[in-house]
Structure 1
C-alpha cells in the first residue's frame, strides 16, 4: 500500500491571494501533478489545507485532491475551520487497509496556533489501540515532540505527554506523521519514528530562534509504503520527494 502525505497548502478564498509571498494554488497544482505519477492508494492531507478557513478554499482543494482519482482524507490544522471542512468533506478518524490501521487525529483548538488532542479524543485513541492490534500509523497536524525550532515548540501539541503515555502501552504503533513545521524532520521518540513533511506552500527556516521563511526552498510530499511480510511483521518504508519551486 502506497500512501502520500501532503500538508500545509494554505489556500485562501481568493486564488490570487499569496501566502507568505508564494502562490499557494500554483504550488498545490505542481505538487499534485508529481503525486499523480505514483498512483498512490491513499492521500492523507495533514492539516492547514486552508489559510482562511473559507468554504471556497476547501472546495478548490477538494476538487484538486479528487482529480487524483484515488481515496483521500484530510484533517484540520490550526489555520483550518473544521466545521467548514466537514461541510465539504467529512473528517474520518480511522482507516483500515491492507492489514493496517491509520488513525487520523484532530489537534485543532479554536483561535490558537498550538494543538491539543483533549481528554475525549485521547480516550478514543486508547480504546482504538487496545481494541485493534493491527499495525498502526498515526497522523496529526501538530508535532508531538520537540523540534529544532524554538518558537515552533511553543505552538506544538500541548498534551503530548499523555499522548506518549498511551502509545507507550501499545507496541503496534509503527510511526507518527505530522505537519505544521513546514520542513522535513525525522526523529525517534520512545522508539517510535516521528516524521514531518515539507509544506506544499512556503517553507520555514529550521534551527532559528525567530520566525523566518525560505521562499526559495522547494515544497514536498512524503511517500509511505506499508506492508506485512511473510512472517506477519509490519513493514514501513518512507522518503520525502521535493518539488522545485
Structure 2
C-alpha cells in the first residue's frame, strides 16, 4: 500500500494569494501532478491546508485531491478552521487500510500557533490503541518532539510528554507523521520514527534560532509504503520526493 503525505499548502480564498513570496496554488498544481504519477492508494494531508480558513480554499483543495482518483483524508493545522474544513470534507479519526490503522489527530487550538491534543483526545487514542493491536500510523499537525529551531519549539505540541507517556508507548505504533515545521525531518523518539514532510508552500530554515525562510528549498511530499514481511511483521519504508518549482 502506498501512502502520500502532503502538508502546509497555505492556500487562500484568492487563488493568486502568495505565502511568504510563494505562489502556493501554482506549487499545489505541480506537486499534485507529480503525486498523481505515483498512483497512491491513500493521500494524507497533515494540516494547514488553508492559510485563511476560507471555504473557497478548502473547496479548491478538495476538488484537486478528488481529481487524483484515490482515497484521501485531511486534518487541521493551526492556520485551518476545522468546522469549515469539515463542511467540505469530514475530519476522519481512524482509517483502516491494508491491514493497518491510521489514526488522525487534531492538535488545533483556536487562535494559537502551537498545538494541543488534550486529555480527552489522548484518552480516546490510548483506548483505541489498547483495544486494537493492528499496526498503527499516527498523524497530527504539530510535531510531538523538540526540533533544532528554538522558535518552532515554542509553537510545537504542548502536551507531547503526555502523548509519549500514553499512546506513544504502544509497541504497535510504527511511526508518527507530522507537518508544521515546513521541512523534512526524521528522528527516533522512544524507538518510534517521527517524520515531518516538506511544505507545499515555503520552507523554513531547519536550524535557525529565529524564524527564517529557506528560499532555496523546494516543496515536496513523502512517500510511505506499508506492507508485511515474513511472519506478518509490519514493514514501513519511506522517502521524500522534492518537486523543483519556481517561486
TM-score (normalised: structure 2)? 0.98
Q: RMSD between aligned alpha carbons?
A: 0.7
Q: Distance in 2 between matches of 1:58 and 1:212?
A: 27
SS of aligned partner of 2:224: strand
Partner Cα separation in structure 2 for residue 100 and residue 232 of structure 1: 12
User: 24-33 or 159-168, which moves further after superposition?
Assistant: 159-168
1:188 aligns with 2:156: no
Q: Describe how 1:18-57 pairs up with structure 2 within 5 A.
A: 18-57=18-57
Q: Which residue of 2 aligns with 1:74?
A: 74
Residue 90 of structure 2: aligned partner: 90
Alignment of 1:197-212 (within 5 A): 197-212=197-212
The answer for the alignment partner of 2:135 in structure 1 is: 135
The question of whether the paired residues in 1 share the 8 Å contact of 2:205 and 2:214 is answered with yes
Quick one: distance in 1 between partners of 2:210 and 2:134? 41
Alpha-carbon distance, 1:241 to partner: 0.4
Secondary structure class of the residue paired with 1:156:
coil
Q: Measured at CA, do residues 172 and 56 of structure 1 come closer, stay the same or move farther in structure 2, by a change above 3 Å?
A: same
| Change over 3 Å in CA distance of 1:162–1:207 after alignment to 2 | same
Contact residue 22 and residue 215 of structure 1 kept, 8 A: no
Residue pair 2:125, 2:167 contacting (<8 A) in 1 also: no
Unaligned segments of structure 2, at least 5 residues: none
Deviation string, structure 1 residues 7-28 (Cα, Å, up to 9, x no partner): 0000000111111011000000
Q: Could you list the per-position Cα deviations for residues 78-129 of structure 1 after superposition, in whole angstroms to 9, with x for gaps in the alignment?
A: 0000000000000000100111000000000000000000111001100100
Number of residue equivalences: 245
Indicate how the Cα distance of structure 1 residues 58 and 137 shifts in structure 2: closer, same or farther if over 3 A, else same. same
Q: 1:227 corresponds to which residue?
A: 227
Runs of 4+ in 1 over 6 A off after TM superposition: none
- Give the TM-score taking structure 1 as reference length: 0.99
| Distance (Å, rounded) in 1 between the aligned partners of 2:24 and 2:64 | 13
Contact 1:12 / 1:50 at 8 angstroms: preserved in 2? yes
* CA–CA distance in structure 2, aligned partners of residues 54 and 124 of structure 1: 29
